[in-house]
Structure 1
């Protein structure tokens, strides 16, 4: 069951966990086998002052970060201002990651806060680690619910090492190839699309702009361009000597190949049966969070994948991704 924190004032993990008094009424999914994931912290007051809560977070940064190492964390009804959780000297996570690679489907809300992916709400966004297709990806991703949808719209989360363990057991050759070859992510742009996207009709200028976004371009005879990232690692070593699923395979759709193009780092195709199995496993072992206004979710991007369920409008989440304040990555 999820803990309820009546006061956030301890200075280390042991004291923090000792402060647990009650539990909230939102248990994890019935088919989820790890009751300690995710960690949920709820302020004792229904309407805590933002300044006091931010001060408590800053004071207890080590304990809170230790909880984040291998899980995600919610803080329900905590605030009506997303920036308060990440701004200021001595905040929990203060070094912004930025927007390398572009955010074509997101609007700037107030830097460094953005709206979450603005693809139509009826579209399901599959499990992924944020910007795993880039060499420079965020350590931490924070979501804030401004408007909760009337139906659907849950954010699903799943632990990457759970996915890795299952796939390594059932599809060892697939996982071995992912570890040895990595992944290439790519899509195609028509001639008018790449000219608009890069703001030029000069191929050399387009290539220069693409390189600044860690993209490579391959010009095709029909006027289109293949835009790709990679090869990028698909499996990541966590600091506790375990491996985790770290990729955007979950955003692919084996029945609609042109939705997301993936291949091994050497250009060979991924096995369809293993792809489908990985998607099914993540879906079956996810913890879906049904949003309420004011909810905050903080995700360790190295260890946890997230997704978006389809929903009815309106739904508005704000997101900020940034580097851990620790010198070394989690």
Structure 2
């Protein structure tokens, strides 16, 4: 780790007090001078990009704290300094608003709703390599972003529920939801089923028409386990965003259409909750997350809370 930090010497490492992992998770970087500027931050990111990428591979998440990042335009400057390609959010399932450049709002579900652990857009064949978050307004209470390393989740679940994990690796996952007749007509902007199917396919979705007029909209099968660069395996899915205690809201199944075991689902959620690092936001925080290796969640909060996000491809 000392060698990696030497590669980003213009920053100062500031390990989070409540987290004693090695390497630190997240790795916290603060200004190396008393008077940091946005321009200097962007220049340091461009200069130290290989070292920062090594830190991101090693830790899974980097938190920039104490830099003068004030608004969406400033955040866009930080994002663009990394030189990655914004992939937008056209096929994504969450409610988001485009702001500027590579910047969108974070999930716009009401703040009192908990959003479970997930890898961003893991239900799609194309998903971000890196997700960046920016805190513009920190909530007065709650609203932490939980992060957990997928390797630890995989290792624990493979040890305690080997058949479940083996089925995930072999069969993958299907993610689905149901739309009433008026809902699918509004969503796809047509009352013609063939046109709806065409529009859905462009968003990597498939449609199954039901006798009662509803349609089952599904993604997959998608891999639920990924291989990382160092040949370790990681939990890579949106299982944590489901509620396995309410069958009608589960919205996922094995790739062959069979149901997932409820006990294993509950165990995976419990493990992620118990082993998360709940990041409490401060205004100006920028967190860079390796989307392949780290799952994130949102704790309920009191308003106001405003986080912005950018979803990026590294190549």
Q: TM-score range by the shorter chain?
A: 0.7 to 0.9
Q: Report the TM-score when normalising by structure 1.
A: 0.81
Residues matched between the structures, number: 294
Deviation at 1:259, TM superposition (A): 3.1
Q: Per-residue deviation at 1:35?
A: 5.5
Distance 1:60 1:23 in 2: 10
Aligned twin of 1:273: 263
**Displacement over 4 Å in runs of 4+:** 19-35, 75-78, 324-329
Q: Relative to 1, partners in 2 of residues 1:45 and 1:148: Cα closer, same or farther, differing over 3 Å?
A: farther
> Which residue is 1:89 aligned to?
none
Deviations 1:237-277 (A, max 9, x none): 01101000000000011122333411000000000000000
Change (3 A) 1:264 1:238: same
Name the counterpart of 1:34.
Answer: 22
Displacement of 1:76 in angstroms is 17
SS of 2:167's partner is helix
Which piece of structure 1 moves more, 205-214 or 106-115? 106-115
In 2, Cα distance between the equivalents of 1:285 and 1:104?
A: 25
**Counterpart secondary structure, 1:55:** helix
Closer/same/farther in 2, CA of residues 182 and 257 from structure 1, 3 Å limit? same
For residues 291 and 157 of structure 1, do their structure 2 counterparts lie closer, same or farther at Cα, with a shift above 3 Å needed? same
Report the aligned-residue RMSD.
3.6
Separation in 1, partners of 2:209, 2:179:
10
Residue equivalent to 2:45: 57
Give the Cα separation in 1 of the matches to 2:55 and 2:60.
19
Q: What SS does structure 2 have at the residue aligned with 1:192?
A: helix
Aligned in 2, Cα 1:294/1:158: closer, same or farther, shift over 3 Å? Answer: same
Q: CA deviation at 1:17?
A: 1.6
Structure 1 range deviating more: 216-225 or 43-52:
43-52
Instruction: Report deviation, 1:100.
Output: 3.8
**In structure 1, the residue corresponding to 2:13 is in which secondary structure?**
coil
Compared with structure 1, are the counterparts of its residues 137 and 250 closer, same or farther at alpha carbon in structure 2 (3 Å cutoff)?
same
2:130–2:312: 8 Å Cα contact kept in structure 1? no
- Contact 1:77–1:293 at 8 Å: present in 2 too? no
Structure 2 spans left out of the alignment, 5+ residues: 68-84
Alignment check: 8 A CA contact 1:185 1:228 kept: yes
